[in-house]
Chains A and B, each alone.
Chain A
Amino acid sequence: MKVWVFSEEHHGRPAASALELLAKAREYGEAVVFHVGAGSAEAFAELGAHGASEVHHLDPGDTLAAAPAAAALADLVGDAKAVLFGMGNLDRDVAGRLSARMNRPVASNALDVISEDEGQAVVTEILGGTLRVVKAITADDPAIVVVRSKAFTAEPTGGSAPTVVPVTMPDVGHSGAVQVLERHEEPSEGPDLEAAEIVVSGGRGLGDAERFKIVNELAELLGGAVGATRAVVDAGWVPYSLQVGQTGKTVKPKIYIAAGISGAMQHVVGMKDSSIIIAINKDPEAPIFGIADLGIVGDVHQVLPKLIDALRERGN
């Protein structure tokens, strides 16, 4: 049985989600990738090493190719069991369009996909991970599923180079006419947020962009990565790449320090599976204390400087 995985290229590599999804897709027998990007040899090799037998490659050039990609995929996925997408922006753009084009539902926020005699079911969690929901899909295959990050663990199989099949960009008229004029990147520093053993995250309680920097200072001392809430990302204090939560990254570090974070459901789903959670918040009623192993009721700007000084004294 065949399962398709959507992959977008970033800096010459497939998105992390594509490699995670391949771990699941392989279970079905045949894993095939639809890859959008410039098409580096390294990206193809990595997809192959994670079990992709074929990579269908669409080079969008300077087009934001959601509509053309969906049209091309709709023509390709005929007898597949499922088409798996990550939570990336282009993933969601293509999944939504494919759904409307093929008149099939999208099952979103999936944490697992179960193959059943009649179609598929998708497992998800709602309300901050307090309820587990099983959604059954009654449409004909392929099932279109959008999967949360870290639902599956990427693992190379040592597979060989995949067959690369170029995809010509279909002409979809006006809906395909979206031009990318310029790309702006803010360089990120420090360890990778999703892989780090220690994550220090800050919320609105830090006060402002300037005072947020104490989070960076602590993370650096601990050799950890910096995370943030959406409130802080939306305020422009830090880039989106640092956002932890439902619409950001999922992290499962050994230590998660939540500073000035209320613990909204949408944040909690991205970090609740950390081994140890430490929270600092001046409001004793803050929901974050409900899941913290250690909760300090206090002012971040009192607690963190002392912690930083103590760590420095120890020569950290």
Chain B
Amino acid sequence: MKIAVCAKQIPDPATPYELDPEHHWVVRPDDQVLDDTDRYGVEIALQLAEASEGSVTLFSMSPAGNLQGIRQALAMGADKAVIVSDPALKGSDALVTAKVLARAIEQEGFDLVIAGTESTDGSAGVLPQQLAELLGAPALTFAKAVEHDGDTIRIHRQTPDGYDEVEATLPAVLTVTAGVVEPRYPTFKGIMQAKQKPVEQLTAADLGFDAAEVGAAGSAQYVRSVTPVPARQAGEIVEDDGEAYRKILELLEQAKVV
């Protein structure tokens, strides 16, 4: 099985991302990390590839920077990466990003494309579905569990009160929730090998895009304004001395709910 995994590089989410004041685009430092959301996709891809003698190629659109995020995913065991990196891509919305990723993936060929359900920074939550439509593939979305049998992929699709068992045949797109598997930690050997693995860097033009089709120029929406929301005031903080539950009780009484 030839597996394409979407792997997004994002600013380290340990601190809130910054927006540049002029265009309100996310500031993307050199040392971006792998979106935690995509570790699940990488893990599922590795498991499916191991079971089918397949290959795992990462696809990413982002300023390459020092490739830290991509190397993290390679260190888990992915075979290689294709990263589309080009100043002309700045300001791309999800649809443009999907078009770019679709072309890169098509150029490489695929049986299965795996993505997260929503990224940690942009969180538009629709890119994989846009990708599926562009690729003419069925989409198995919001998977909590994944199985495969030859050309058939079967998932447990998260629903409000449980899950549906859903299946489709390859080629297909799959999106995975964070509950789907426990992503492996890279081994020392994996980290060393990741440094040698092929990372192909492409520009928008390499994929046949005109500058006007991508980036802010190609995206039919833009952020017009960003303003701070007045913060909620923090209240009273007390250390539990064994009696703090009384404070809760008092508040519940004041609110007349007990």
B-contacting residues of A (Cβ < 8 Å)? 10, 64, 66-67, 70, 87-89, 92-97, 99-101, 103-109, 121, 125, 127, 129-139, 146, 173-188, 197-198, 222, 230, 233-236, 239-241, 246-247, 254-255, 257, 265, 272, 275-276, 278, 284, 289-299, 302-304, 306-307, 310-311, 314, 316
Contacts and interface: CB of A to CB of B under 8 A. Distances in A.
B161 A186 contact: yes
A178 B136 contact: no
- The secondary-structure label for the interface of chain B is mixed
Contact of B231 (A70, A130, A289): A130
10 tightest A-B CB contacts, nearest first: A96-B129, A298-B240, A139-B220, A96-B126, A234-B179, A100-B133, A293-B235, A295-B237, A306-B245, A307-B245
A263 B224 CA distance: 29
B19 to A, nearest CB: 8
A56 B126 CA distance: 23
A132 to B, nearest CB: 5
B160 A10 contact: yes
A192 B222 CA distance: 37
Contacts of A174: 136-138, 169, 171
24 contacts: A67-B132, A70-B133, A92-B125, A93-B141, A104-B95, A106-B124, A130-B228, A135-B222, A136-B222, A138-B220, A178-B166, A184-B165, A222-B252, A240-B160, A247-B118, A257-B248, A292-B235, A294-B248, A298-B244, A306-B245, A307-B245, A307-B248, A307-B249, A311-B258
B115 to A, nearest CB: 11
Contact of B220 (A93, A104, A109, A234): A104
B107 interface: no
A131 B227 contact: yes
Contacts, number: 265
B123 A246 contact: yes
Interface of B: 16-17, 19, 24, 93-95, 98, 117-118, 123-134, 136-142, 154, 156-169, 171, 177-179, 219-229, 231-232, 234-240, 242, 244-249, 251-252, 255, 257-258
Given A89-B159, A104-B95, A222-B258, 18 more contacts: A88-B160, A95-B126, A97-B129, A105-B220, A108-B123, A109-B125, A125-B229, A130-B229, A132-B229, A138-B222, A175-B139, A180-B165, A240-B160, A255-B255, A265-B16, A293-B236, A294-B247, A296-B248
Contact of B167 (A103, A109, A179): A179
A100 B100 CA distance: 12
A59 B164 CA distance: 17
Contacts of B127: 96
Contacts of B132: 67, 96-97, 175
B226 A295 contact: no
A222 B236 contact: no
B224 A134 contact: yes
A198 B257 CA distance: 8
Contacts of B93: 105
Given A105-B221, A272-B232, A296 B247 contact: yes
A82 B133 CA distance: 20
A265 B154 CA distance: 33
Nearest to A64: B166
A284 B237 contact: yes
Contact of A177 (B17, B118, B138): B138
Contact of B129 (A92, A125, A198, A254): A92
B101 to A, nearest CB: 12
B257 to A, nearest CB: 6
A117 B117 CA distance: 34
A107 B221 contact: yes
A97 B236 contact: no
Contact of B229 (A104, A129, A292): A129
Nearest to B243: A306
A310 B244 CA distance: 12
A183 B157 CA distance: 9
Given A109-B123, A173-B136, A311-B258, A136 B224 contact: yes
Nearest to A310: B249
Given A105-B93, A181-B167, A297-B238, A96 B130 contact: yes
Contacts of B224: 121, 134-136
A129 B138 CA distance: 34
Contacts of A303: 240, 244-245, 248
Contacts of A311: 249, 258
